[in-house]
A and B are shown apart, each in its own frame.
Chain A
Amino acid sequence: EIVLTQSPDFQSVTPKERVTITCRASQNIEDRLHWYQQKPDQSPKLLIKYASQSFSGVPSRFSGSGSGTTFTLTINSFEAEDAATYYCHQTGSLPRTYGQGTKVEIK
């Protein structure tokens, strides 16, 4: 099973700050890494697919990069509405797995 480890677990940020979340895979998953945003009592929303491709309707301040075992989600100019928990997810190998989540709050 591929283990995804996110860092940090929690981050407190100010508006307009740049936010970076890292996801490390225990094995090479090429670009089969995706990012989700989940707000309390809501379903997850896909932000980035295949490491760097923006999903339909996602604001341009969200971007992704990486390949192999190290990936990054970046939020440029953080906005209050971006406060949420973010998860990475791999589909390169069964069972599909998720990272433990990174909670991002407004400072």
Chain B
Amino acid sequence: EVQVVQSGGGLVQPGGSLRLSCIASGFTFSSFWMSWVRQAPGRGLEWVANIKEDGSQKYYMDSVKGRFSISRDNSRNSVYLEMSSLRPEDTAIYYCARDGETWLGPPGYWGQGALVTVSS
């Protein structure tokens, strides 16, 4: 059974930093792209970033470029989202998800989500 379990999240002041983690199981982790998707309170879904199976390619939405960094550790079946220079508009539930075996593949398995609140 495919499982994606997230940790991290919480309250952080504007300009602060936070790290989200995600550990996956039930599949060959090193064969799949992974993504982060967020959802502001009461709003729709927004793609944040994704990373290739071997970590050699990473893509970001424009508003987080230079502030967020996606990474993975295939030996730990884990993917991370390092967030810095956080802004109130980054407040959202952040979901980790397993993509397909190519960069076209949609997120098919999602974590439970982690709430990030940026506020003073």
Contact between chains at B44 and A101 (CB < 8 Å): yes
Chain B residue nearest in CB terms to A90: B106
Binds B, one of A15-23, A41-49, A66-74: A41-49
Which chain B residues have a beta carbon within 8 Å of chain A's beta carbons?
A: 37, 44-47, 50, 59, 61-62, 95, 103-108, 110-113
Please give the residue numbers on chain A whose beta carbons come within 8 Å of chain B beta carbons, in ascending order: 32, 34, 36, 38, 43-46, 49, 55-56, 87, 89, 91-92, 94-101
Q: Are A91 and B105 in contact (CB under 8 A)?
A: yes
Instruction: Name the A residues within 8 Å of B95 (CB-CB).
Output: 43-44
- The CA of A8 and the CA of B44, in the complex, are separated in Å by 15
Known: A44-B45, A95-B62, A98-B45. A34 touches B106 (CB 8 A): yes
Does the CB pair A91–B108 fall under 8 Å?
A: no
Query: Is the CB–CB distance between A55 and B108 below 8 Å?
Result: yes
B104 and A89 contact, CB distance less than 8 A = no
Residue pairs across A and B with Cβ atoms less than 8 A apart, 15 shown, are A36-B45, A43-B95, A43-B112, A44-B45, A44-B110, A46-B107, A49-B106, A55-B108, A91-B104, A92-B104, A95-B47, A95-B61, A98-B45, A98-B47, A100-B44
Instruction: Write the nearest CB–CB distance from A26 to chain B, whole angstroms.
Output: 16
Give chain A nearest CB distance to B7 CB in angstroms.
Answer: 15
Given contacts A43-B95, A43-B112, A95-B61, contact A87 B44 (CB under 8 A): yes
- A45 proximity list for chain B (CB < 8 A): 110
Complex alpha-carbon distance, A101 and B45, angstroms: 9
Known: A43-B110, A91-B103. 7 other contacts (CB 8 A): A44-B107, A44-B110, A49-B105, A87-B45, A95-B59, A98-B44, A101-B44
Report how far A85 CA is from B20 CA in the complex, Å: 26
State the Cβ distance, A6 to closest chain B Cβ, in Å.
Answer: 10
Q: Are B106 and A46 in contact (CB under 8 A)?
A: yes
Q: CB-nearest residue of chain B relative to A95?
A: B61
Instruction: Determine which residue in A38, A45, A55, A91 has the highest number of CB atoms from chain B within 10 A of its CB, and name it.
Output: A91
Quick one: closest B residue to A49, CB to CB? B106
Alpha-carbon separation in the docked complex, A4 to B46 (Å) = 12
Best-buried of B50, B106, B112 by chain A (most CB within 10 Å): B106
